[in-house]
Structure 1
Amino acid sequence: MARWAYVNGRYLPHRQAAVHVEDRGFQFADGVYEVVTLLDGRFADLDGHMERLGRSLSELRMDWPAVPRVVTMIARELVRRNGVRNGSLYLQVTRGVAPRDFKFPANVPSTLVMTVKRVSAFAKPEQLEKGVAVVTVPDIRWGRCDIKTVGLLAPVLAKQQAAESGAYEAWLIDPDGRVTEGSSSNAWIVTQDGVLVTRAPSQKILNGITRQSLLRLAGERGIPVEERSFTVEEALAAREAFVSSAGTFALPVTRIDGKPVGEGRPGPVTRTLRQAYLDYVAAGVPS
């Protein structure tokens, strides 16, 4: 089946989709984005992603490319044209095309780009059975990590370091020696007392949409929660650890910097929350 993309009012064959060389997203990383998962024809947490997109646009004083309802309609139509039931939607908005100048251009329409891709499996069986490894690296990102900007060079470098170390993800460590989040995920632990811990929302982390759903699902199941920072040492002493994102849901972490977490295997809280999230999405409205 042909693959389609959307660029500024046009549905185009994916290989023909392009933006202008002076688009500010290309030249300044002056843009924001969202990634929305599709599970069995359903968008996962679409309303939350659209709300966060609006917040990111507002924080950067950037205009919506169209009213949110229309952006959602475009997304659904693009998914339909691609015939994707399991995969992800990538949506990016930039400040638009203008001669290169650091100042905001006046009266320039925003650029809107969307693509869709198929995903055969959101986790390999061995990742769910044995968990994944993470490595720790210094957090060198800018001071507004709560905005989902396309300026991703620091996370790219962290993710590459993880890959070169044979790990799945990198956990970013702040100057106080505490975990902020993963390079493309939120970080969680389950203490020996059974308390679920993840860093509280602030300008230091991206308040993940999946993260927010997992917190609600944990509360519904009576799992005690603390939103606070934690150290690598605390994580290594925990019963469980996991990462969450739109594409991983809740994925167990069983090794940090080569050392086992807990008993070195996925734990019951992680498995419970992953299944709870999948059930929650399955009960939603088909896209």
Structure 2
Amino acid sequence: MMRVKKKITVGKIIVYSFLALAVLTALFPFYFMIVSATASQGEILNIPPNLFFSDKLFHNWEVLNQKIDIIRVLFNSLFITITYTCLTLILHSMAGFALTKYEFKGKKFIFLLILMTMMIPAQVLYVPLFELMNNMGWANSYQAVILPGLANAFGIFLMRQNMMAFPISLIEAARIDGCGEFGIFTRITLPNMKPALGALAIYMFMTQWNSFMWPLIILSTKDMYTFPVALAVLDGMAWKKDYGVIMLGTTIAVLPIALMFLFMQKHFVAGIMGGAIKE
């Protein structure tokens, strides 16, 4: 028994040591990014590089604010991303509810068409979407960034798969009690879909927050830029790069995603697993 316990203990030590090394390896780039945000160009490019916090944080902040107006960029990104996320949660949950709890002709065919849109490259749609937004007078506006990507096939698929597990008997009982369809959806179905909604919220938030190509095409003035576009402007010419300023901007851009994932990671895992149901 003692030998078995020793083997188990040694095995655990090896596993935990490997996991600790993997965690450190994964987190080191983020640590270096945060440290570099407080350092000057020379300290970052030093060999070996500086691995401790420096005193250039406020200087980097002033330069960053002069180049891209960081408060305005932060507002643009938060407003576009939060609005987009809230609208997609409503739209995708309604679509998932309709595709699982209502019977109508062509339901499976419609769902198949929705899935087929996932095979269309986004780049194919940029030119017609730009012409449409421009003709409507929406170029360089918030709605031009938010509205075209609302109907996301993955979001509809995720909500449909999760709602398939919701018992139809509860819905029928609510109808017998006189509850309307909207009340059934908002008061009975959605409260039981919190894990799926949490997973979808994280996915959509990250998708819109990191979106680069479409905002770059449709937004033409600096006061409308989102973080990915603004950071691309920061990059500039090779001999004009200030890596301390770039790292500070990147740190600010990464922070909202990291915080959201930390607070909602349980819902994310539960929602993804909930979508693994077979029809």
TM bin, normalised by shorter chain, reads: under 0.3
Indicate the structure (1 or 2) with the bigger Cα radius of gyration.
2
Q: Name the one with the larger helix percent.
A: 2
TM-score (norm 2): 0.26
Bigger relative contact order (CA 8 A; separation at least 6): 2
Q: TM-score, normalised by structure 1?
A: 0.25
Q: Which has the higher strand share?
A: 1
